[in-house]
Amino acid sequence: MDRIVAFNPKSVRTAKSRLGVMLSRPIILLLNVIAIGLLFSGLGLLVLSNMPVGWLLIGLCAIPIMISEWHRGELKSPKSIEGTVDGLLAGDILGSLDKNPTPKDIAVAAVKAQGGIFFANRFGITRGFLDNITTDQPTDSEAIWQSALVVRKESGSEFISGAVLVVAIIDSFSDRDSLLAHMKLDRTDLLSGIGWYEHVRMLINKSKRPLRTGGIARDFAFGYIPLLKRFGQNLSENVGRGTQIELEAHQKALDQLIDSFGGGGSQNAALIGAAGVGKTTIVQAFAQRLMDAEAKVPSSLKFRQVFMLDSASLISAAPGRGELEKLILQVLGEAQRAKNIIICLDNAQMFFEEDIGSVDLSNVLLPILESDSLRIILTMDEQRFLQIGQRNAALINALNRINIAPASHEETLVVMQDQLLYVEFKRHVTVMYQALAEAYRLSERYIHDLEMPGRAFKLLESAAGFAENGFVTGNSVQQAIEQTVGVKIGVAKGEEERDTLLNLEDLIHERMINQTRAVQVVSDALRRARAGVRNENRPIGTFLFLGPTGVGKTELSKALGEVYFGGEDRMIRLDMNEYVRSEDVARLIADGADDPNSLTARAMKQPFSVVLLDEIEKAHPQVLTTLLQLLDEGILRDIKNREVSFRDSIVIATSNAGADRIREYIQRGYKMKDFEKQFTDELISSNQFKPEFLNRFDEIVIFRPLNKPELLQVVDLILAGINKQMALQKISINVADDAKEFLVEKGYDPRLGARPMRRVVQRAVENLVAKQMLGGEVQPGTVIDITIEQVKSILNDGEDVS
């Protein structure tokens, strides 16, 4: 525990800091001008006027020079002294504090300091924010100092910087956690922010000291490389000029790479890892390390240059058969003769393709790899590496494999913090911490073609296009993912969406009749999801709809798709009678490149959707087993072992299993809630479904057959649809009640439910209207009254014909 030490406003360090703050940039400039003025005036007086007073002026010019140097070397940032608050406070803060500062004074000093500005920009913790949580009582300052000492120790900072002080002020606020929760932050985030601030300072200081890269005679002893310059990119060329690459993840892989080439073994390395893990960055960091005169690398690697071959320019320069192999041999021969070249084949799988029109350099590269006559690095995707291994085991055996795993959460955040500097410079935006955290979270869930850290950074780059007042926020990241993937993130905010959610049942019932329980359970699930109170690690809802044909099971899924998900096409529909063999599992999880209609491919493209598994009872048990994880965790692995998320889907399975039993129960006068449990047990005992499958659903809903009044409502719905179509021609229809009853009689089939109803109504009404229109009996603006006789005549005609 730190000893409580009061802030000492009279210490020498405090005085120095105050002087440092007082000597602002204009004053320092003025001092330099005075020094030059005194020097030249003195010389002028001596030389031109022969006046000894010139000596005095020359002598006095030393004073402003010394003050200016002192300011640069010490006053701006006095060394820290352990044990006291004023000994540890950063100079810019210490210098701007009064003798007896209040918490508000401390907050003002903190937000004006560099660390405070950093926190205002990156976390949105501004002066106004701190002003609201601080008091005017000098006696309250002691708690902040005490807290600052603790935060400094936790964060490992050298000073109590503006960043440390901001966190200390928040720490000393009684309701800290809920305060931070409003900003979607917690204390760990704030500590991580201090780490970020210190890291940026370290990068700035490092960039001030340029690398020493061997000098003008570095390459005298090595050969000319005109071909390589034409067909490759020299990664070592720009080392020491621009910003240095910081390898935040995979430091171990870099050491392994150096060991591979520095030792006496095979002089090659294959970096194997998924796209986005940072294989190319490792090669760039390797090139930088070799060029750094101060880096500890074996002398045989010092100042060696890394060239990345450009496959596109090589292929375009050698279009003829066999020409490419010849050209590659020339390029590699040149690299070999130059004696200081390490070749990198990025995405090396492109050089080992077997298909027609592609390139296979195995025969060219294998002798070179086996003889160790040239240092080569290959970067490759794991899957392709294994595929090449199947075809050419000797090639794989000749390579030193270095596995590159995806970066961890912490590593990814630091990589993004480094990389976002380029994004900010290019797009003129400031990226906030909340955006980094959100980019990690959402990219992990929705971006499947890349691995961390590339995946999170890709999303962050997209989010720059959704900056709000120049700031890329968590909301910008959500918008980016909503636009690119089409999901809805977070809590419903828009008035329109909230209205839809609150009136979901009514909206669904505009296109389907009854089945109120089913409508309610899906509506509730959706409302829970959009209010942010659901389990994020499962689908929005999983439902099994049981019941006879034509009672609205599929219709409910379609209605949901249209009302909430933005159209019936937002429904991923799978007829499970197409998955009756165990081999069909492969079709279910096929790669999108091979089968764009597989379940996983469609969910990848459209994660926010209704997934309808129609006639689930017909699927093969193996298929059902595959679906268990989807229902349970909202995850399904595709054939490439990529995790595909269904956590933004509503999964609805429908089944006719036991339809006759449902009819029987209803006919015997049972109410649904009375026989639901018994019916489910019957499904299990009759081996139609396994209990572990049924248990995976949030709700099992039984749809009952529609009765006559409901069927009349179905007719009304169909007629409303027909009227909607007719509205284009300014015509409407009005069907008599007895005619509707006749339509119900004709359209209802106990086996097919209300399914034939639409066909019957359309045939009767549309044919009638068509005849009247062609006969010139109907004009725009007319209401056509349809009687039972007309309907009978049309339907009976149809029956006669058929």
Partner 1 sequence: MVMLLITSLFRWWYSDGFSERLQITSVRLESMIDYFSFSLLLKTLFSPYRQISAGNVDGSLEVKMRASLDRLFSRVIGAVIRLIIMTVGAFVAGVLVLYSVVGIIVWGLLPFLPIVGVAAMMMGWTPGWIE
Task: Enumerate binding residues for partner 1 (CB under 8 A).
Answer: 12, 15-16, 19, 42, 46-47, 50-63, 65-67, 69-70, 73-74, 79, 209-210, 212-224, 293, 303, 337-339
Instruction: Please report how close the Cβ of residue 57 comes to partner 1 at its closest, in angstroms.
Output: 7
In the complex with partner 1, the residue whose CB is nearer, 219 or 617, is 219
Q: Each residue of 552-583: b (16+ CB within 10 Å) or e?
A: bbbbbbbbbbbbbbeeeebbbbbebeebeeee
In the complex with partner 1, the residue whose CB is nearer, 30 or 293, is 293
In the complex with partner 1, the residue whose CB is nearer, 219 or 237, is 219
Structure tokens at 349: 């799988």
Any idea what the Cα angle at residue 412 is, between residues 410 and 413, rounded to 5°? 65
Instruction: Please report how close the Cβ of residue 39 comes to partner 1 at its closest, in angstroms.
Output: 10
Instruction: Please report how close the Cβ of residue 203 comes to partner 1 at its closest, in angstroms.
Output: 19
In the complex with partner 1, the residue whose CB is nearer, 334 or 614, is 334
How far is it, in rounded angstroms, from Cα 736 to Cα 591? 54
Instruction: Please report how close the Cβ of residue 24 comes to partner 1 at its closest, in angstroms.
Output: 17
Contact status, residue 228 vs residue 335, Cβ threshold 8 Å: yes
Instruction: Please report how close the Cβ of residue 65 comes to partner 1 at its closest, in angstroms.
Output: 7
How far is it, in rounded angstroms, from Cα 380 to Cα 269? 11
In the complex with partner 1, the residue whose CB is nearer, 8 or 772, is 8
Rg (CA), the chain: 37
In the complex with partner 1, the residue whose CB is nearer, 288 or 656, is 288
Strand partners, 232: 309
Instruction: Please report how close the Cβ of residue 58 comes to partner 1 at its closest, in angstroms.
Output: 5
Alpha-helical segments (H) within 379-492:
382-391, 393-397, 409-427, 433-446, 454-463, 474-485
Any idea what the Cα angle at residue 259 is, between residues 258 and 260, rounded to 5°? 90
Instruction: Please report how close the Cβ of residue 323 comes to partner 1 at its closest, in angstroms.
Output: 25
Structure tokens at 54: 């010139």
Structure tokens at 158: 């050298």
In the complex with partner 1, the residue whose CB is nearer, 297 or 706, is 297
Instruction: Please report how close the Cβ of residue 28 comes to partner 1 at its closest, in angstroms.
Output: 15
How far is it, in rounded angstroms, from Cα 289 to Cα 281? 12
Contact status, residue 257 vs residue 376, Cβ threshold 8 Å: no
In the complex with partner 1, the residue whose CB is nearer, 17 or 609, is 17
Instruction: Please report how close the Cβ of residue 74 comes to partner 1 at its closest, in angstroms.
Output: 5
Q: What is the 3-state secondary structure (H, E, C) of 199-225?
A: HHHHHHHHHHCCCCCCCCCCCCCCCCC
Residue 343's nearest CA partner among 307, 300, 372, 316 is 307
How far is it, in rounded angstroms, from Cα 472 to Cα 465? 8
In the complex with partner 1, the residue whose CB is nearer, 70 or 471, is 70
How far is it, in rounded angstroms, from Cα 628 to Cα 538? 12
Contact status, residue 3 vs residue 39, Cβ threshold 8 Å: no
Backbone angles phi, psi at 156, to 5 degrees: 70, 25
Instruction: Please report how close the Cβ of residue 142 comes to partner 1 at its closest, in angstroms.
Output: 25
In the complex with partner 1, the residue whose CB is nearer, 208 or 493, is 208
Indicate the angle between helix axes 162-171 and 114-123, nearest 10 degrees: 60
Instruction: Please report how close the Cβ of residue 333 comes to partner 1 at its closest, in angstroms.
Output: 11
In the complex with partner 1, the residue whose CB is nearer, 6 or 47, is 47
Residue with tokens 């829970």: 528
